[in-house]
């Protein structure tokens, strides 16, 4: 991440969600573009239409979860572009957290597909070994009445 250009924003998706895969130097590069509305606070105006972009595996992962109205927390850096006579300021996402109204079922399916392809590490729960395969037996815990001494 660029030094001294660190941004943290919480906002809701209010515009189009654009996902595409570009071909650069014979490699595919997934690309996701979102428009966020960042609510203002006392003394500050609401930002309508903050452009957020994500690349690579993060773009594929986030695309499965997002829909209109999803609230996101985005960490990244600002980047400016000039296209013709138009000046574009965008937030390049390094991390995305889904806070509210995400499509959890579709997102989890997409995440598992990425894990199966080897493009993403499995979660902690998927790495937890199954004790039955290792030949381990669970410890027998006595019932509470067995622990009480009888006279």
CATH of the domain at 139: 2.40.50.140
CB atoms under 10 Å from CB of 61, counted, come to 21
Average pLDDT, the chain: 83
d(CA 139, CA 114): 36
d(CA 136, CA 26): 49
> For 42-50, what is the mean pLDDT?
81
Does 137 reside within a domain?
yes
* Residue 44 domain boundaries: 7-147
CA-wise closest residue to 70 among 43, 116, 107: 107
Nearest 5°: phi and psi at 134? -85, -5
Q: pLDDT > 70: what percent of the chain?
A: 80
pLDDT band for position 114 (cuts 50, 70, 90): confident
CA-wise closest residue to 76 among 123, 105, 36: 36
pLDDT band for position 124 (cuts 50, 70, 90): low
Q: How many domains does the chain have?
A: 1
């Amino acid at each position: 991440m660029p030094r001294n250009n660190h941004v943290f924003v919480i906002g809701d998706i209010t515009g189009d969600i654009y996902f595409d895969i570009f071909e650069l130097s014979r490699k595919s590069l997934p690309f996701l573009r979102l428009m966020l509305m960042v609510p203002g606070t006392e003394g500050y105006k609401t930002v309508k239409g903050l452009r957020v972009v994500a690349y690579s595996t993060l773009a594929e992962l986030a695309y499965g979860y997002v829909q209109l109205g999803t609230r996101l927390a985005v960490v990244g850096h600002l980047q400016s572009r000039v296209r013709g006579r138009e000046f574009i300021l965008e937030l390049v996402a390094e991390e995305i957290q889904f806070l509210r109204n995400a499509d959890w079922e579709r997102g989890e399916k997409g995440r598992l597909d990425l894990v199966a392809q080897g493009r993403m590490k499995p979660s902690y729960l998927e790495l937890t070994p199954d004790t039955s395969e290792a030949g381990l037996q669970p410890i027998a815990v006595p019932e509470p009445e067995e622990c009480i001494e009888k006279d």
